[in-house]
Structure formats: structure tokens, C-alpha cells
Structure 1
Amino acid sequence: MSDSNRSTPVPVTILTGFLGAGKTTLLNRILSEEHGRRIAVIENEFGEAGIDNDLLIQGEEQIVEMNNGCICCTVRGDLVRILGELAEKRENGLLHFERVVIETTGLADPAPVAQTFFVEQDIGEYYLLDAIITVVDAKHALKQLAECHEAEEQVGFADRLLLSKTDLITPEQLAALEARLRAINARAPIAHAHFGETDIGEILDIRGFNLNAILEIEPDFLEDVSHEHDGGIASFVYRTDKAFDAAKMIAFIDVMVRDYGNDLLRYKGIVHIAGCDRKVIYQGVHMLLADSIGVPWAADEIRRSTLVFIGRNLPKQAIHEALDSCRII
């Protein structure tokens, strides 16, 4: 890949959701609407029928340019390879796109797709994981969440939740569903998408996966609320105004990822490290962790650390106590 565009990485949105949720309806709208955006849509279905045949030829892997300037691809195997091929064609002027949307199969755990942007250096430098958007079938979601762990994980990974088929349930049922979704993932804003009709600006270029960027837009995004659900995926927040010892924090992260990595869906936070005048940003997926140095703490700003954990049966009390032991008293 050329280095010419690495200063401005291509944003990528992962679109997930359980079978029948309405992902393909939303994608068909993206591929056909005159929205003025040049989007490469990757259908990561591994052999399943997905995008309507009128829009995409099934069979061998295809890259099809749509009339509105969007590009649609099928992936039957290696996502890294197709991302690399798209980047090469873009660099060589053969394809023109500004952002990428990846649709996962309805039974997929979004983690492997998200992890691609952590473990593949070329991919991680050329592309920017913008957000994970999960489409939820409002009519059947509560049953799916109770019976299928994949449905729970898709909600747990989400940076935004889009509810489809809300016209098929009562206001009381909708309220119960939204409460259940917030119990799994308290941080993801919820919006409605009727037959794929949603503001594209609400799902693209939102920097939902980049904690530092989203906090600049929504300072209260990590408000101090804990939500739990027995036996399933839950989220909780840890806050402290005391500085962390750098060595102890590194050791904690190592142990946490080693012991609980399989059950950690998402974890991210802004941390005050003693002796560092900048915010330290942590974010991870399962056992893969990325850290970076963020913006400086403002002179009048309380140097408060906030960490969010979303996972399955996580030992909340033990994690809180371990973090307490990392602080400088």
C-alpha cells in the first residue's frame, strides 16, 4: 500500500445484527440512495445470500460499482485481503471511495472483524475503525437475546443501536426492550430505523469506537451509571479522581486480559497516570488492547479516570478492588 493516504485513514463502520434484523435493507438503501457519499460496502457473509441479486451478483467474489458511486463487495474468505485489495485499487485510482461499511453475517460475533484493525498493521494504519452499529429486530429481540449468545454479543459490542420493526410492538414492549438493551450496553445510544430509513449521518463518521474523539463530542457519554443483568452480558463503570501508578496499571491490564479476555467484549477508558500531563486512552476487544496518549489535561479540569467494561459474567467487585490497588493514595 502507498503511504499517501495514511495521514487520513479511511473510516470503517461495522454493521451487525441478528438474522432478519434488517441489515440488508439498510445496506440496500445505502447502495441505492443518492446521498452523495462514496462508500465501499463489504458483505462479509462467507457464502450466505445477502445483498439483493439485482444489486450484487452471487457466486465468486465481486467488486461492483453502483450508479450512485458506492462500491459493493462480497467476501467469501479473507477480510484482510479484500481490505488490502480495495486500498490498492484506491491508491492506483481504480476505485474511489471515502469510507467503508462492513456487514457481518447474522450469526457472527463482531469481535473477529473488529480485531482485524488491531492485529493487522497495514490495515490498522490505512483504515480507522469508526464504529460498530447493531441493528436490532424489535419484534423478536427479547427472545433472541434470551436464547442466542450471539445476539447478546452483537448488542454488547455496539457503539450505536438501531431498532427495526418498532411498528410491530406496543409502547410497553418497546420500553421493556430498550431497558433490556441498556442493561447489556448502557453506553450505546438507541435510534429507530424503519425499513432502513435512518439518517446516514447518524451512523457514519461518528468516531464511536474512538473513546477520546467521542468524549470531545459528548462529554457525558460515560456518565456514572452501572447496568447489570444476571447470567448475561453487562456493563459497568469505574471512576476515580486519584492518579494511577503506571507500573501497577500495566500489571493490572495484563492480568485482566489474561484472566478475563475471553469474556471481555469491549473495554475502554481515559486514565490519569501519575506524572503524565496528558490523558492516557485504553480500548480493547477481548484480549487485544490498544493504548495511546490523548490530549493534555486542561488546567482547570479534574483529572478523573473513567473506565468502562462490557462483558459476560465479569467479576465487577474484584476488578474494582484491583483498580483501587493501582491508585496512588
Structure 2
Amino acid sequence: MAHASKNRSEKVDDPSIPVTLLTGFLGAGKTTLLNQLLAVSTSEPTAVIVNEFGEVGLDHDLIEKVDGDVMLMSSGCLCCSIRGDLSDTFVKLLARRDEGMHNFGRIVIETTGLADPGPILQTLLVDPFLARNTRMDGVVTVVDAVNGPATLDAQFEAVSQVAVADLIVLTKTDLVSEASDKAVTERLRGLNPTADIVRPSDRDFGPKSLRNLTSMRENARQQDAISWTTPKVANDPLGNLSGLMSTSNTKPVTTSEFRRHDTDISSVSIVLDEALHDAVFDKWFDTLIAYKGRDILRVKGILFLEGIESPFAFHGVQHVFDPPVPLKNWTGKDRRTRIVLIGRNLNRPEIQRSLDMLRNARPADAKSLTKCR
């Protein structure tokens, strides 16, 4: 299993910049949402990284001045375009902050509508500079209630954007019927059962709604960590005792003749009551990722290990994983390990056998576990 730099997890005080990835297909409303958020005065200035200013359509009434490839917004936020690769843009942006030229406490990356968020997430994990200086705070995916179903039918990138999201923002719901709103919501739930689904019209929706969307921080609240790994759909409590059934029984609602990409995507939730030996877990998980890594879009979880009081939060994209983060604020008797995998064709017998291997193996046998086939 490939991991990002471990420097961050060794620090007591985490100075890394939280990063929000804002994605969504063409016309979903990412730029409208971004403009709304930039127009709100906030105590935490934000740097926004976009592909090109001309493609984004930012509200120029919000622009105070232009400084090379950086624009200063009237709200105090910054907006810069990617010149070269993403890492170079981060280096220049953080250098400006360190030199006192600009001040910001978080970064938002707005992707193009056709972008697969996976490579960007991997870049943040494996690039040494970014791994030391940033942390992924959440993936926000914007979905258009009007055109979203047809887009999901036609474009796998749109399905991938939904599948990896921590928060889904459903736009243009005022332009569809209540039945259509419900249908697209259920479809999104089927693709990503653990993501919250909100609407810009919600009373409590605002800039804070896009923050602290993952539990990859030591001060994460226990309630938020559990919610992060728990499907939002009520299931039959006796219908998934193994924890390996797909978390969605919703049949995709299609609006076109395109092949429904939903049928390729499933979410597998695993819940284990007892703490795990670290060697057994590492071997099982390394085997799973080696065998299914290309099919896994994202994995996240809360892990309890034998002999360690606090659980660890972890997440990864395909075969690349951030160092686990200890959750220092955990209290109470709930010591269940929760793992959520989202990807292509994951509800297979191989996963059942790999879980049986984990449950039945003794710690001393961890090194001898063979690859699941």
C-alpha cells in the first residue's frame, strides 16, 4: 500500500492548510456556488485555485485588484489560476502567504467539469510538498437536478465525482418536480450512501457547510467520525450482518438510452465489533488494495487496533493512502471498526473471503496470509 508522507501525523499541532476539492460536471453550478461563497464575508480568508480565470466566469464585481496570476476578491479571498502543474501553483501560493503578501487559512480547488477527482486527490497525498503542507478537508460535488440524471447516464466521470464526494450539493431543485427531486436524490444515495446531500436553499447552508467534511484531523468529533463512515440510508438491521452487502438497493433512474454507469459502482460497508491486530489488518488491507486497487475509487474508515485506546481515521484513493490520524476525542464504549469502500464491482466473493481471512487469522499468521484469489 502506498502512503503519503508521515511527517504530518507525527506533529502535535497540525499547521497544514485544509483543502476542499470542488467538483461537478459541466453546468452543474460549481461557479455559481463558488461566487456565492466568495461573496460572503468570512473570518477565514480562502485561496481558490481554478484552471483558468476565463473558463471559470467569476463575478468580476467581487474583484478588488489583479496581481499577476492572483486576483484579490472583495471578501478578502484570493483566486489564482493553475500555471503549470498543481504542485507548482501550491508552492507559489504558499510562498506568497509565508512572505506576508497574502493571508488565507484554507484552499478550494475548483476542477473542470470533465475532471476525474481521483488524480487530484492522489497528487495531494503523494506529492512531498503537498503532503507536508496541506490536508484534504473534503470533496464537494455539485449535481444539477435538471440535467444530472442524463449526465450520470452518459459520463462515467460524473459518476466518479459523486462516488468520491464527502458532500453533495444538489442544485436547480426549484426547476424540477418533487418526484424528480426525490428520484435524483435516491440515485445519488445509491452511488454514495455516506455523503450528506444538501441544497443551496437550505436554511443553514453556507461557507461552513463545506468545512471539516472528513475525520482526518485529530480534533474530529466522535459523532462526526461515525457519521463520516455510516450510510445515510436506513437499512434492515438484520439484512446485512456480514457488513458486505451493497449499501444501496436503489435502482438507477435513467433518462436516456446511454448505458447506466451506476451498475458498475457499489459501496461496501464493513463493521467489525472487536479491535484488530495491526499486522493482520495491514496484511488483509494490503492484499485487498493490491488485488482491487484499480477498482476502488475511494476508501475511508475508523480503525480500532489492539492495545491502542484511540481509534484511527484513514482514507485513500485507489492504492494511495494518507497516514492514519488518531482521533483523540473518542469516548464511550463504541469501539467498532468501520470501513467503507466505493468503487467498481466491489460486491464480489473475493471481498467475503478476504474478510473471513482477517477474522480467522491469528496475529502470528499475518505474514503468511496469501493473496486472495
RMSD over aligned Cα, in angstroms? 2.9
Paired letter, 2:56? G
Are the structure 2 counterparts of residues 164 and 149 from structure 1 closer, same or farther at C-alpha, using a change threshold of 3 Å?
Answer: same
Once the two structures are superposed, the pairs formed by residues 204-219 of structure 1 within 5 Å of their partners are: 204=211, 206-208=212-214, 210=216, 213=220, 215-217=222-224, 219=226
Once the two structures are superposed, the pairs formed by residues 120-269 of structure 1 within 5 Å of their partners are: 120-193=127-200, 198-204=205-211, 206-208=212-214, 210=216, 213=220, 215-217=222-224, 219-223=226-230, 226-227=247-248, 231-269=263-301
The separation in 2 between residues aligned to 1:300 and 1:216, in whole angstroms, is 11
Where structure 2 has 5 or more consecutive residues not aligned to the other structure, the ranges are 1-7, 236-246, 252-261, 362-373
Deviation at 1:214, TM superposition (A): 5.8
Q: Equivalent of 2:326, from 279, 294, 306?
A: 294
Q: Which moved more, 1:146-155 or 1:124-133?
A: 124-133
Give the secondary-structure state (helix, strand or coil) at the position aligned to 2:165.
Answer: coil
Q: Which residue of 2 aligns with 1:65?
A: 72
The separation in 1 between residues aligned to 2:156 and 2:68, in whole angstroms, is 30
Are the structure 2 counterparts of residues 63 and 48 from structure 1 closer, same or farther at C-alpha, using a change threshold of 3 Å?
Answer: closer
The separation in 2 between residues aligned to 1:71 and 1:235, in whole angstroms, is 37
Deviation at 1:32, TM superposition (A): 3.2
The separation in 2 between residues aligned to 1:178 and 1:218, in whole angstroms, is 23
Q: Which residue of 2 aligns with 1:52?
A: 58
Are the structure 2 counterparts of residues 153 and 248 from structure 1 closer, same or farther at C-alpha, using a change threshold of 3 Å?
Answer: same
Q: CA offsets, 1:251-289, max 9 Å, x none?
A: 222222222212211111122323333323331111102
The separation in 1 between residues aligned to 2:339 and 2:174, in whole angstroms, is 36
Deviation at 1:218, TM superposition (A): 5.6
The separation in 2 between residues aligned to 1:270 and 1:31, in whole angstroms, is 33
Q: Equivalent of 1:311, from 343, 353, 363?
A: 343
The separation in 1 between residues aligned to 2:17 and 2:99, in whole angstroms, is 15
Q: TM-score, normalised by structure 2?
A: 0.77
Q: Which moved more, 1:211-220 or 1:67-76?
A: 211-220
The separation in 1 between residues aligned to 2:325 and 2:225, in whole angstroms, is 19
Deviation at 1:186, TM superposition (A): 0.3
Give the secondary-structure state (helix, strand or coil) at the position aligned to 2:48.
Answer: strand
Q: CA offsets, 1:231-268, max 9 Å, x none?
A: 22221211111333322321222222222212211111
Are the structure 2 counterparts of residues 192 and 300 from structure 1 closer, same or farther at C-alpha, using a change threshold of 3 Å?
Answer: closer
Where structure 1 has 5 or more consecutive residues not aligned to the other structure, the ranges are none
Q: Which moved more, 1:213-222 or 1:238-247?
A: 213-222
Give the secondary-structure state (helix, strand or coil) at the position aligned to 1:250.
Answer: helix
Q: TM-score, normalised by structure 1?
A: 0.87
Deviation at 1:77, TM superposition (A): 2.9
Deviation at 1:161, TM superposition (A): 0.5
Q: Which moved more, 1:76-85 or 1:23-32?
A: 23-32
Paired letter, 2:58? D
The separation in 1 between residues aligned to 2:20 and 2:228, in whole angstroms, is 20
Give the secondary-structure state (helix, strand or coil) at the position aligned to 1:133.
Answer: strand
The separation in 2 between residues aligned to 1:188 and 1:7, in whole angstroms, is 25
Give the secondary-structure state (helix, strand or coil) at the position aligned to 1:314.
Answer: coil
Q: Which residue of 1 aligns with 2:48?
A: 41
Q: Which moved more, 1:141-150 or 1:247-256?
A: 247-256
Provide the aligned length of Structure 1 versus Structure 2.
Answer: 320
Q: CA offsets, 1:160-208, max 9 Å, x none?
A: 00011101110001111011000000011111125xx94111113x242
The separation in 2 between residues aligned to 1:294 and 1:186, in whole angstroms, is 24
Paired letter, 1:50? V
Whether the aligned pair in 1 keeps the contact of 2:229 and 2:301 (CA below 8 Å) is no
Deviation at 1:141, TM superposition (A): 0.9
Whether the aligned pair in 1 keeps the contact of 2:314 and 2:325 (CA below 8 Å) is no
Q: Which residue of 2 aligns with 1:327?
A: 359
Whether the aligned pair in 2 keeps the contact of 1:12 and 1:102 (CA below 8 Å) is yes
The separation in 1 between residues aligned to 2:286 and 2:301, in whole angstroms, is 15
Aligned-pair identity in percent equals: 34
Deviation at 1:131, TM superposition (A): 0.6
The separation in 1 between residues aligned to 2:217 and 2:295, in whole angstroms, is 20
Q: Equivalent of 2:91, from 56, 65, 84?
A: 84
Whether the aligned pair in 1 keeps the contact of 2:304 and 2:336 (CA below 8 Å) is yes
Paired letter, 2:143? V
Are the structure 2 counterparts of residues 220 and 27 from structure 1 closer, same or farther at C-alpha, using a change threshold of 3 Å?
Answer: closer
